[in-house]
Structure 1
């Protein structure tokens, strides 16, 4: 019977990794086993950085496990989702043989990590229809089986298009690829979505993994806390392949505070506001004459096609508004991605894109009884 370990590179299945001073789990009063300084740095008033941190901070692991509703042994924490993507590709793909499959236009790190590993990149483009963009899961499954994909990345909600994939569809693909490929669902924007998370599928799907992050809805992008959820055997392998100290102690402490009940309540309120603003912005942008189409989105952003994207981008920059230029992405030569900001920031976007009002002539103003 196949297990998720069959998808791991053969040379890494029993790889022990680096045994750091913290991984030995020793106890003592005087710590002289890691060649650390006996004195704190003068700038480190809290003495938070003199010692190497826990590789997988237990308190943070427990808090994240509660947040995502999974057992701690199913969870790996690291430096953002980027590190987890890179770890997966390096641990599962034999260079030159095992392929990575992605669905452009989509988050570019899947392709970058494949390139760095020397893994062939397979692409099954998203399909566009009257509703928006969607994945072609039948084509994905066929391409993965016929062309040797070891990892299939699904982005849900998808960046930059905003579409989400129902868990039942994810499960059907994972069943089809059982023993052949790992299906990875990137849920960086899941908090903004009405679609249920794929995390509920994990106990029944050993070849499924889910990426989550504290960078978006939890407003901790600078702390670089990313999470991979998956089969415990896969998580154990990845922990051995991970750098010795991936989570700086101050970042772990900040993340723990950011997951406290008051902080989570504030996060929920802000997510609700973003959802309301997303609907308002979608309608307002679609009504502008410069906009060809504003796509529905389950994320905290909108993908917008413009009559003249270069002019729109320039107007926004002139107003001090920086958005993501998508014109180099496949099938998005006229598109920009606009993050949903605060109501005031969103108003600034609309003001920059609205047509300029024609100035009234002096004669017309006088005829209207307007003092010039």
Structure 2
């Protein structure tokens, strides 16, 4: 069974929309896309009157270099969210091909499955002495039993912070070869000590990796995400993607951010955030009223509280907004706290210290 056999039969030969920019024509007078010939008066660069390239080659090359993969393995989209949605729509027939997740986890996997009417199979994370971890044997069993076409692994996990060893990912991909695509979401990969699953792509065609410039590269508003997978799967998804997914200003910003000097500064800030993560973790764990702080490979911490409502309210009163996780499975007493600057993290500590004094 080939990888393309997992694609919906009606989409295997689907050509998508043949936009003006995909036609491949070249010239100096552009009259093929019904664009306005004059730039907007507020457009300082004078380029936004023209549709952008669907997959800009300079950005494609820069991201391929950043992630250490061949450019033909890349699909660039509007954050990781678009790639998740495309994967579910292209690989899962409604009410037939299941999506496997392990909660608590990033909610967009379930949202995309729901929108496609694809069966959602949840194999919960196991909360053990060393933190949360996926039960990969049970995930493999569920994927086979339910006819899943997609398995989402979040590594580092969001909101739980755990990273999955490459050997374990490879074993699951091998087990599900010809049955399902295993997608490793590495949105927080730059903060992790575990190497990227991109190292496994050559040996496992049914493996795909999600990366983003939103977190470590501080470009959340630019919405630049990347799916890295087998070229034949990338080609199918490209035909399912919107005609012009990447706004020119976002592409320009991403290209500027991936130059050597900004990249060096980004790496410095990643090191700072990792150091602050460990400092904040230790300080939080020492506070009365904090039940548990989970080890994290991301740029956030998951903490359990004796009174999570009071902790949430005291943080808000101090102007600190954190993510309330109490509605998530297994997290009825938990908050997720992003790692900020040293001063911002000190504000968290101060607010929670005051909570204990006033309680």
TM superposition score normalised by structure 1: 0.95
- Within-5 A mapping of 1:288-367: 288-355=287-354
Structure 1 residue matching 2:76: 3-state secondary structure = strand
CA positional deviation for 1:215: 0.1
**Residue equivalent to 1:367:** none
Instruction: Specify the SS of the correspondent of 1:54.
Output: coil
Q: Is the contact between residue 152 and residue 183 of structure 1 (CA under 8 Å) also seen in structure 2?
A: yes
Please say if residues 314 and 355 of structure 2, whose CA atoms lie closer than 8 Å, have aligned partners that are also in contact. Answer: no
Alignment RMSD (CA, Å): 1.0
Match of 2:27, SS state, is coil
**DSSP-derived class of the 1:250 partner:** helix
Gaps of 5+ in 2: none
Q: Rg larger in 1 or in 2?
A: 1
Match of 2:76 in 1: 77
CA distance in 2, matches of 1:186, 1:48: 34
Mapped to 2, the partners of 1:352 and 1:226 lie a distance apart of 35
Alignment of 1:195-344 (within 5 A): 195-344=194-343
Does residue 155 of structure 2 align to residue 151 of structure 1? no
Aligned pairs, number: 358
Match of 1:134 in 2: 133
Q: C-alpha distance in 1, partners of 2:46/2:179?
A: 48
TM-score, normalised relative to structure 2 = 0.99
Cα deviation 1:47-80 (Å, max 9, x = unaligned):
1311000000000000000000000000000000
| Runs of 4+ that moved beyond 4 A | 356-359
Paired with 1:49 and 1:151, the residues of 2 have a C-alpha distance of 37
How big is each residue's C-alpha offset from its partner over 1:151-210, in whole Å with a ceiling of 9 and x where there is no partner? Answer: 000000000000000111000000000000000000000000000110010111110000
Unmatched tracts of structure 1, length 5 or more: 360-372
SS in 1 for 2:202: helix
Secondary structure in 2 aligned to 1:203? coil
Give the 3 Å change call, closer, same or farther, for CA 138–356 of structure 1 in structure 2. Answer: closer
Deviations 1:55-113 (A, max 9, x none): 00000000000000000000000000000000000000000100000000000000000
